[in-house]
Amino acid sequence: MDMLRNFPGLIPLNKEASVYSGYINIYNEDYRIHIELFENKTLEDLELSCDWKLQQLLHGYTAILKQRLKQCTSLCQYLLEVKSLVERQLEGRHNSHQGGSSQVCAQLLGEVEHLGWDRLVSIDAKFQTLELQCKDKKGRQHIMKVTLSSQHPRSAPRCVVDLPGQFHVQWKSTSSLECLYKQFESAVYMYQDFIDVMVELDQKTWILEPEKPVYSATYRRIAVSTNASLQISVDHRHPRTLPECRFLGADQAVVPLRESLNSNLHLWDEGKGLLENLQVLLGTQLPSPATSSKEEFSVECGICYAFRLDTELPNQACSDARCGQPFHQTCLYEWLRALPSSRQSFNTIFGDCPYCSKPIKVKMPVKR
Is 104 part of any domain? no
- Distance (Å, rounded) from C-alpha 18 to C-alpha 46? 9
Question: What sections of 116-212 are H helices per DSSP?
Answer: 177-190, 192-204
Residue-range definition of the domain harbouring residue 62 = 3-94
Q: Are residues 88 and 118 in the same domain?
A: no
Is 219 part of any domain? yes
- Distance (Å, rounded) from C-alpha 344 to C-alpha 114? 67
- Distance (Å, rounded) from C-alpha 65 to C-alpha 48? 11
Average pLDDT of the segment spanning 158-186: 93
Last residue of a domain, one of 190, 211, 231: 190
Average pLDDT of the segment spanning 258-266: 94
Per DSSP, what are the bridge partners of residue 219? Answer: 233
Region of poorest pLDDT, from 67-71, 77-81, 131-135, 331-335: 67-71
For residue 104, what pLDDT band results from cuts at 50, 70 and 90? low
Last residue of a domain, one of 141, 172, 190: 190
pTM > 0.85? no
| CATH code, 134 | 3.10.110.10
286 within 8 A of 200, measured Cβ to Cβ: no
Is 52 part of any domain? yes
Average pLDDT, the chain: 86
Is 108 part of any domain? no
pLDDT of 298 above 70: no
275 within 8 A of 299, measured Cβ to Cβ: no
187 within 8 A of 163, measured Cβ to Cβ: yes
More confident residue, 308 or 330: 330
Contacts of 361 (CB under 8 A, 6+ apart): 348, 349, 350, 351
Is 53 part of any domain? yes
pLDDT at 242: 95
- Distance (Å, rounded) from C-alpha 154 to C-alpha 35? 40
* Percent above pLDDT 70 for the chain: 94
Half-sphere exposure (CA, 13 Å, Cβ side) for 364?
10
Our count of domains for the chain comes to 4
